[in-house]
Chain A
Amino acid sequence: DVKVTQSSRYLVKRTGEKVFLECVQDMDHENMFWYRQDPGLGLRLIYFSYDVKMKEKGDIPEGYSVSREKKERFSLILESASTNQTSMYLCASNSGGRGRNTGELFFGEGSRLTVL
């Protein structure tokens, strides 16, 4: 089975702190994604990556950055956390690479971030 692991299930941070959310997948998937989930808003795409060192902005990239130094790992970075970034963050991956993707996503269990 595909496994997508998010290192932290729950985090509490203070305004202005730098926050790292880590995601690792074990199925050699080319594509990885970061979504945030908020009640009534569904899932919104922050960033995605279709190859090592490649990244593309999603719908709501402001206030976030990402890093993909290895194929299996995709990190989401909040340079200076703010209270409006309190949310559930979901990492996902899938195979196929650019132009060959089937669309099906495999999700981690999520990281619930609270910014005080």
Chain B
Amino acid sequence: AQSVTQPDIHITVSEGASLELRCNYSYGATPYLFWYVQSPGQGLQLLLKYFSGDTLVQGIKGFEAEFKRSQSSFNLRKPSVHWSDAAEYFCAVGPSGGYQKVTFGTGTKLQVIP
């Protein structure tokens, strides 16, 4: 069965500092991998996705993520965090079994301090 682990429940960074959010996955084949962001009181929005090809993918809002098969990881990075980046971030893996099932991690809540 596919699964996703986000080891950090909560992260605090200073505005302007760099950011890395960790994600590890378990999947039997080459996965589809995603990062979503959820602002307070909102639904989830796709930041970026990896299907195949270049292992470094660029997303919206200046985010990027790198797929590392050997480490089963798909960490999210941003070189300089803005206060508006404060939100909850979810890593996800899928699909599986011919159906449309995407499995989400438990999320990492990002706090940005001045």
What residues make up the interface of A, taking CB atoms closer than 8 Å to B?
4, 31, 33, 35, 40-45, 48, 50, 56, 58, 90, 92, 94, 96, 98-99, 101-110
- A55 CA to B46 CA in the complex, in Å? 25
Q: Which of B14-22, B63-71, B79-87, B99-107 contacts A (4 or more CB under 8 A)?
A: B99-107
Contact between A50 and B99, CB atoms less than 8 A apart: yes
Contact A103-B45, Cβ < 8 Å, known A33-B100, A43-B90, A48-B101: no
Contact between B98 and A103, CB atoms less than 8 A apart: no
Contact between B100 and A98, CB atoms less than 8 A apart: yes
- A111 CA to B100 CA in the complex, in Å? 22
Contact between B42 and A42, CB atoms less than 8 A apart: no
B51, B90, B103: the one within 8 Å of A102 (CB):
B51
State how many angstroms separate the Cβ of B25 from the closest Cβ of chain A.
13
Contact between A109 and B94, CB atoms less than 8 A apart: no
Closest 5 A/B residue pairs (Cβ): A107-B43, A42-B106, A43-B104, A103-B32, A107-B44
Proximity bits, B33-49, A CB within 8 Å = 1, else 0: 01010000111111001
Task: Kindly list 9 other residue pairs between chains A and B, CB separation below 8 angstroms, not including A42-B106, A103-B94, A108-B43.
Answer: A42-B107, A43-B44, A56-B99, A58-B101, A92-B43, A99-B98, A103-B34, A105-B44, A107-B43
- A96 CA to B36 CA in the complex, in Å? 20
B113 on the interface (CB 8 Å rule)?
Answer: no
- A42 CA to B23 CA in the complex, in Å? 13
- A80 CA to B63 CA in the complex, in Å? 43
Contact between A101 and B34, CB atoms less than 8 A apart: no
State how many angstroms separate the Cβ of A103 from the closest Cβ of chain B.
4
- A103 CA to B34 CA in the complex, in Å? 9
State how many angstroms separate the Cβ of A90 from the closest Cβ of chain B.
6
Contact between A103 and B105, CB atoms less than 8 A apart: no
Residues of A contacting B44 in the complex (Cβ-Cβ under 8 angstroms): 43, 90, 92, 105, 107
Contact between B95 and A103, CB atoms less than 8 A apart: yes
Q: Could you list 8 A-B pairs, sorted by A, with CB under 8 Å? A: A41-B106, A45-B102, A45-B103, A92-B43, A99-B98, A102-B32, A105-B46, A107-B43
A40, A41, A103, A110: the one within 8 Å of B43 (CB):
A110
